[in-house]
Copies of this chain bind each other. A is one copy, B any other.
Amino acid sequence: MLERVVRILEAFTPTDRALTVGEVSRRAGLPTTTGSRMVADMVEHGLLTRDDDRRVRVGTRLWELASRASPTVSLRELAMPVLEELHRAVGHHAQLGVLDGEQVLFVERLSADQAVVNYTRIAARLPLHMSSSGLVLLAHAPAELQERVLAGPLARLTPATPTDPGELRRRLADVRRDGFVVCPGYLHPEATGIAVPVRDEHRRVAAAVSVIVPNDDRARDHVPGLAAAARRIEQRLAAS
Q: Which residues of A contact B (CB under 8 A)?
A: 1-3, 5-6, 9-10, 12-14, 16-17, 41-42, 44-47, 49, 57-74, 77, 80-81, 84, 87-88, 98, 100, 105, 110-113, 121-125
Contact = CB atoms under 8 A, between A and B. Distances in A.
A16 to B, nearest CB: 7
Given A42-B2, A80-B111, A84-B110, A67 B71 contact: no
A29 to B, nearest CB: 15
Contact of A16 (B2, B69, B81, B100): B69
A174 to B, nearest CB: 29
Given A12-B65, A16-B69, A84-B110, 11 more contacts: A2-B41, A3-B45, A17-B74, A49-B71, A57-B71, A58-B70, A64-B105, A67-B122, A68-B124, A73-B122, A84-B87
A188 to B, nearest CB: 19
Assembly of this chain: how many copies? 2
Q: Indicate the member of A12, A16, A60, A67 with the most B CB atoms within 10 Å.
A: A67
List the 10 closest pairs (A to B, CB-CB), nearest first. Answer: A66-B66, A12-B69, A67-B123, A68-B123, A63-B70, A9-B65, A17-B69, A63-B66, A62-B66, A64-B123
A196 to B, nearest CB: 21
Contacts of A44: 2
Given A5-B2, A80-B110, A111-B80, A14 B47 contact: no
A13 B69 contact: yes
Nearest to A70: B63
A17 B5 CA distance: 23
A43 to B, nearest CB: 10
Contact of A58 (B1, B60, B71): B71
A84 B84 CA distance: 7
A98 B61 CA distance: 12
Q: Indicate the member of A9, A16, A45, A69 with the most B CB atoms within 10 Å.
A: A69
A204 to B, nearest CB: 12
Contacts of A111: 77, 80-81
A149 to B, nearest CB: 19
25 contacts: A1-B1, A2-B42, A2-B44, A5-B5, A5-B45, A13-B69, A14-B68, A17-B71, A57-B69, A58-B70, A58-B71, A60-B70, A60-B105, A62-B66, A62-B70, A63-B66, A63-B72, A63-B123, A64-B125, A65-B66, A67-B67, A67-B122, A73-B122, A77-B111, A84-B88
